[in-house]
Structure 1
Amino acid sequence: MSTLPTKLPTDTWVVATWDEFIQTVEDPAYQKAKGYYYKGQMRIETMSVGPDHAKDNGIIATTVTLFGAIKGIPLNCLDNCSYRKTGIRECQPDISYYVGERSQLAPTGTSIANLDVIPPPDIAIEISDSTLADDKGEKRLLYEDTGVAEYWIVDVQKAEIIAFEIIPNGGSRRITQSQILPGLEMAVLEETLRRSRQMSHSQVVAWLLTQFQS
């Protein structure tokens, strides 16, 4: 029998077994929620996505994909894909990328991506409007253990990028340029965010073309 309360606290970490987490994310009431599980705790995010979050999500995904196209770097972008290591952890980054030779390893199908049989993405990105503290804290540890190569946090309110390279033997360190996408500066991504506040996305992309083709 589940020990979870009838009305589950959301947008915070709650002590739960793996079975309780699965029971929750499979509940139709949380069909549109994002689910995370890490070290015996789960977090169900049900906060609505506002226009600023949605716009930043779109322009960052467009920017990274455009960079790959111009530089000839194969990549596959996944939007809000859930990654599950059965019984251990689950995460659902806003954007994730498989890059280079690993681009062909990106999961397909309609089921949750099973990390028991596929590798994790190279880059995981969280768009942080009201979840910044958690994205910099517990989720950073979650992504370190998930085994992504880089973890980026987009601070919607400040139009800033907080990017980390995940160290294989544990931990992470701040970076100002992607190590997975050489030449992609976080400063350019931040300028992209700032310009998107004043310009249409098509105008921003036109500016990006001049940056990436130079």
Structure 2
Amino acid sequence: MMISVDKPNMIQSQWHPATWQDYEKLRDDPSIDRMQLFFHNHQLLVENMGWEGILHSEVRELLSAILVMWLMAHPEIKSKILGSCLMEKESQQAAAPDIALYLGEDLPQYRKGESRKINLDQQRSPNLVIEVADTTLDSDLDQKKYLYAALGIPEYWVIDAQGTQVFIFILQDQRYLRTESSQIVTGFTEALLSQAIEQMKSGSNISAALWFNQQLSLSSEES
């Protein structure tokens, strides 16, 4: 049974059987604001309809802040961070990850008059995508993992905001394998990221980002 695209609030945070045309109808509906859309294997997911929770938002901005600090310490690396930006592979997959990180050459650029989404048939995939799970952990570790693997994303992180747990996956032979340390962002580990979230919960995401940066500096000095 296909979804009713006339009632998007009824399908929030659940995967439903759908066609690419169903997805396009929601994507192009001007009356619907602030959606994160995902499409894979004839299934459609709608998230963040109109608002997001404090915890989800704070953890997402923490991740953005520590990535920015790392990139500022590595100015030789060309980079771009995108938040909830829609990316599509025509008629096959669509995703709007909480954070997408591009490193190196061929960074996506918006040009006036072009579509506001990233066309993955014409532009490359990001090096890393991150999903912050407040109430969506099962989906982030299941359907979205297969979606991002199909898109060829080299590294995928899932941040369990409630349980303060971090999952880092690297793509090998078209499937994700869990690892303790990032291969994309030097020094970032599951354990250190988890500790940063704990620091945030007893302070703020700004104080936690500063703490995280100090830990990276200490680790670099020791090595």
Among 189, 203, 206, the alignment partner of 1:202 is 206
The CA distance in 2 between the partners of 1:94 and 1:31, in whole Å, is 16
Asked if 1 retains the 8 angstrom alpha-carbon contact of 2:127 and 2:153, the reply is: yes
Matched, 1:17 2:19: yes
Deviates most, 194-203 or 52-61: 194-203
Using the size of structure 2 for normalisation, the TM-score is 0.86
Task: Percent identity, please.
Answer: 24
Q: Which amino acid aligns with 1:27?
A: D
SS at 2:73 equivalent: helix
Q: Which amino acid aligns with 2:211?
A: W
The CA distance in 1 between the partners of 2:43 and 2:207, in whole Å, is 43
SS at 1:152 equivalent: strand
What is the deviation of 1:24? Answer: 1.6
Deviates most, 86-95 or 8-17: 8-17
1:18-33 alignment runs, 5 A limit: 18-33=20-35
Corresponding position of 1:37? 39
Matched, 1:63 2:97: no
Q: Which amino acid aligns with 2:7?
A: K
What is the deviation of 1:201? Answer: 3.3
What is the deviation of 1:203? Answer: 2.5
Asked if 2 retains the 8 angstrom alpha-carbon contact of 1:18 and 1:87, the reply is: yes
Corresponding position of 2:57? 54
Question: 5+ residue gaps in structure 1?
Answer: none
Asked if 1 retains the 8 angstrom alpha-carbon contact of 2:187 and 2:216, the reply is: no
Runs of 4 or more above 4 Å deviation: none
Matched, 1:123 2:128: yes
Corresponding position of 1:7? 7
The CA distance in 2 between the partners of 1:160 and 1:7, in whole Å, is 34
The CA distance in 2 between the partners of 1:19 and 1:207, in whole Å, is 46
Corresponding position of 2:221? none
Asked if 1 retains the 8 angstrom alpha-carbon contact of 2:79 and 2:107, the reply is: no
Asked if 2 retains the 8 angstrom alpha-carbon contact of 1:107 and 1:118, the reply is: no
Asked if 2 retains the 8 angstrom alpha-carbon contact of 1:82 and 1:91, the reply is: yes
1:45-194 alignment runs, 5 A limit: 45-47=47-49, 48-72=51-75, 73-99=77-103, 101-102=104-105, 104-109=106-111, 111-167=116-172, 169-194=173-198
Distance 1:107 1:153, change over 3 A: farther
SS at 1:56 equivalent: helix
Using the size of structure 1 for normalisation, the TM-score is 0.90
CA-atom RMSD in angstroms:
1.8
The CA distance in 2 between the partners of 1:205 and 1:138, in whole Å, is 30
The CA distance in 2 between the partners of 1:131 and 1:17, in whole Å, is 22
What is the deviation of 1:4? Answer: 4.5
Residue by residue over 1:26-53, the C-alpha shift from the partner in whole angstroms, topping out at 9 and shown as x without a partner, is: 1234321111111112111245311100
The CA distance in 2 between the partners of 1:14 and 1:134, in whole Å, is 12
The CA distance in 2 between the partners of 1:33 and 1:206, in whole Å, is 31
